[in-house]
Amino acid sequence: MDEMDRGRSRPQGSRPRPTRDLDEYEYERRPRRRRPPPDERLPRRRRRRRVWPLLLAGCGLGVFLTVLAAAIIVFLAIRTTQGNSFGSLPIIGGAKTYTKEDITQVQLSTISQIQVCDKIGNVSIQVDPTASTPAVTTTKIVHMNSQTAADQEFQRIGVEVQPPGTITDPLTCTQSQPTTVPTGTPPTSTSTGTPPSTTNGSASSALTVNITLPTSNGLLQADSDAVNIAIILPLSVLPPDGPTMQLDVEAPVGNISIDGISGLMNVIGDKGNIQVKNGVLTGGSQLVTDLGNITFSGTLGSPTIATAQNNFYHISSGQGNIDVTLPATTNVTLDTYTNQGKISSEFTIPLQDSNGGMAYQGPLNTASSPTPDITLVVHMNLGNITIHKQQ
């Protein structure tokens, strides 16, 4: 049968066979290969995180905290040297400041010795011609969250205002209690270089104010306690035979102010100002603080008994300023220097520059003759010294 006949004999409705090859047909109908699931893909190379931003952030945070701590310390130091009360210090933890004031009338007709021991708080001793009875005012300062808690803390603070023989708590001062000493016996030095609390007089005419603080964790602690002391003395209780008062004050954290007292003074501070005016310093006196200003305006009296210790008046501060005002006729040897700072004097003295500081050692009045054996020592580590003539 020929080709034509084959086509004619094909049933109607049937489709013609494809004219292309089977291999090509199978290739086009072959299903496409699917992409492998994500698990089968090759792992991507992770980007390395840069370490520098983290290091810079950590360094920045460390610098910020260091600057903040330094700012707090400087702030507290400035407030202390400027004479601010400890009741106005910043409070941590939302606590409030509570105060309690007590006044004690001192039953002594004559006071020849005063000893004050107060670790945290301001101390003021003043002679008042209008007063009739010695009085000691103590102001307790606590930082608590409620009045009830403050009252409980007030009870924990020990305040003793008594003659030394009746003090029951151990003294917070490094010096011993006043003791009976025969008249005219000079005090002797101790191993620490600080004169003991003994002088011409007797313990029966001595007054001791001793403060015991149960919690003294520092100025930045919300529960730190403090006690301010104010002593008022009438003229009638002072020794009648000249500047023979023995005054020992230790207030490591606080300002010390003394007005109208004359005698042998051992005033020791640490962080705070010292001011002494309208009085006479006898030989062997010392006004010393580590961080604060010292101001003295008065007279340097000759020692009753000339000894190596009594021939010196010592005024020194580690950091701050010292201001001394003396009568124009004062005749002493001046030993003064400041490591970093300047010395200004209304007395004519040949000051010398010395590696960022100044110094001088010689007579205060160069025209006076002979030069006395009494020496006024005025030393400063970081700060200025100013010496005035009393007008």
Q: What local confidence, expressed as pLDDT, does residue 74 receive?
A: 58
Nearest Cα to 188, choosing from 369, 367, 310? 310
**φ, ψ of residue 69 in degrees (nearest 5):** -65, -40
242 assigned to some structural domain: no
| Separation of CA 50 from chain center | 44
In a domain, 194, yes or no: no
How many CB atoms within 10 Å of residue 376?
21
Q: Please name the amino acid found at residue 282.
A: T
In a domain, 311, yes or no: yes
Single-letter amino acid, residue 213? L
Please report whether residue 375 resides in a domain: yes
pLDDT for the residue 232:
97
Residue 267's pLDDT is 97
Tell whether the model's pLDDT for residue 323 goes beyond 60: yes
pLDDT reading at 16 higher than 60: no
The residue segments making up the domain with residue 374 are: 273-391
Split into its structural domains, the chain has a count of 1
Residue 331 counted as domain residue: yes
Task: Give pTM, 2 decimals.
Answer: 0.71
Cis peptide before 252 (omega within 30 of 0): no
Q: Is 18 a member of any domain? A: no
Task: Let me know if residue 101 belongs to a domain.
Answer: no
pLDDT of residue 132: 92
Of the two residues 90 and 122, the one the predictor is more confident about is 122
Residue 296 lies in a domain: yes
